[in-house]
Chains A and B, each alone.
Chain A
């Protein structure tokens, strides 16, 4: 029997070891053997994390590495702390990695000749970084795992090094994210200078003894800048569409499904444990700033998503939109909103990964991910079309998908303080879901007139992409169809299994209780949180709002597909108004996404400066 204290480091060690084994034996083994090996390894990791989830229960699992346990509340050791939000995210990562591994069985039929083990090894290394980031209780370790997952993600994004666009996207991704990480490290240095501690809980305890001053605000802003870059919060989001639209499809599933969400998780964790104590940053201040940032991100992501014709870029911008909602949800700082966001993240991961997976089938068949170029060409793939459309409905929040439940709970938690927040949630999910439905209708049903090019500027079309596999004439491999179907079913299960919602409600209560975390991490005691367990069931209001966003998404998609074919003065006037708004607002917004490295770095500096000003006043 493995004790819980050993399960925590084991969860990080298993994928690391797997990566090493794959690199070593990958030279000699044939492709099917490598696929079997990596699948076994991914299953092992899921099992390990599921066991940890069960063992953790409604408390915390704490492990001081190397047995450096604290003596009278002081320790020089490094700690791993898992509560069900952290372990749950790690488990989500593990499950998604398993899906990606199975999806890739037949996906990369041309690995580098000598090194068939490279891609699965990188995937496992990526998993180790993400799981470590979710489970660490130490600020500097968080930076190291952050950089580990970052560096592997840059390599995976630029995996197809013979293709011009991936290498460009990977470079921008690498430079912007590394710069963000160095900002975090500067902040960690400042915090260490003030407290002499690196553990999250210990820093929190020490900071509570100091008066708040500019150093505290500066350290907070520097630390979260790196995390917000990862979370793609406007204006630090520019790298995301460039990276996600060019990365290999299996990698996109992981990037959009969990990596970006880990940035939001890190921000919330750092705030709750380190900065939310007495003399820290007040709840009201943080709520005002981060809800605003989340809403801005959500709106920019949704508007840009609607404009895209490159399918992967469209999905990437929808990730930006949804991450904005996640940030706004966690920034409400209530257990209910946190539980709702956790459900939303879990269901969104399934839906978004399924959408990327089906887009991968299109890329596989036609060597294109251009909505206009693929018009009517998907009619011989009805099952893929159905999956894509169901994914669009899931993204829009059709009940009983988990996305609808999570969204409803978060909306309900926020509407007292911000009565307009549900409207933002509805609009953003309708625009992103509607964009997917629009593409599905045009590509798979061939409905409406041929789409025409409306945007005058340069845009990323998605035509002429290199197919990621060799033989487009073969049948679509079975794993490439089964995996998205299973992922969608899982997203449905998140909304339907009442046990999961209840578990996450308890987990959110623990997550938002600083004392419970600190006591468990430093002293090893369990303290029951003082707040009541939030209610996360379906409500009539939630179902109505979710139906509203779904109907709005369908209407938007129909208007986009069939609108141009209608001939009436009213339609003409509406089109003229839309074009006017487009020229004044949307074209400038699209021009900002210039693909230029220097611009993105400048935006990062601007974003950080604005955050510093609003957090210091």
Chain B
């Protein structure tokens, strides 16, 4: 097992967080949130990866065939659904913010302070 995919997942996560911290555009920030989420896909698929394993379908292959872990794939799929919902909701809110505040720059949103 190599460390590289784990480090890659960590890097993607940090890249997304950096993007959100420095973002000047809410839509960009929501995109960065999706980037941090992709790090969870990378991590989950890495965890379930087996060298030489094939996709976990047993319809036309013997039961002893080496496959990758199907559990993490189910987790990643659930994660994709959750992510799609949240991203869609946040983008809808971003549209409303543009309409109501006339800006998508987090620096210009000063309604809630102190």
The interface of chain A, by Cβ under 8 A from chain B, is 140, 144, 147, 150-151, 154-155, 158, 161-165, 167-172, 174-175, 178-179, 181-182, 185-186, 188-190, 192-193, 198, 241-242, 245-246, 307, 455, 457-460, 590-591, 593-599, 601-602, 605
Contacts and interface: CB of A to CB of B under 8 A. Distances in A.
Contacts of A598: 20-23, 29, 106
A245 B82 CA distance: 26
A181 B89 CA distance: 16
Given A144-B82, A597-B106, A186 B9 contact: yes
A460 B94 contact: no
Nearest to A165: B111
A524 B40 CA distance: 33
A358 to B, nearest CB: 22
Contacts of B79: 185
Interface string B54-84: 0000000000000000011001001100100
Interface string B24-58: 00100110010011011001100100000000000
B112 A242 contact: yes
Main secondary structure of the interface of A (DSSP, over half): helix
B90 A171 contact: yes
Interface string B75-113: 100110010011001100110110011000011011111
B17 interface: yes
A310 to B, nearest CB: 9
Main secondary structure of the interface of B (DSSP, over half): helix
The listed residue with most A CB atoms (<10 A of its CB), out of B22, B72, B82, is B82
The listed residue with most A CB atoms (<10 A of its CB), out of B23, B93, B96, is B93
A178 B86 contact: yes
Nearest to A158: B93
Nearest to B91: A171
Contacts, number: 141
Q: How large is the interface on B (under 10, 10 to 19, 20 to 34, 35 or more residues)?
A: 35 or more
A190 B90 CA distance: 28
A457 B114 contact: yes
B43 A189 contact: yes
A586 to B, nearest CB: 10
Contact of A246 (B71, B82, B89, B112): B112
B30 to A, nearest CB: 7
A144 B78 contact: yes
Contacts of B82: 144, 147, 151, 181
A587 to B, nearest CB: 9
A164 B111 contact: yes
A595 B96 contact: no
Contacts of A245: 112
Given A167-B96, A171-B97, A186-B39, A460 B86 contact: no
B113 A169 contact: no
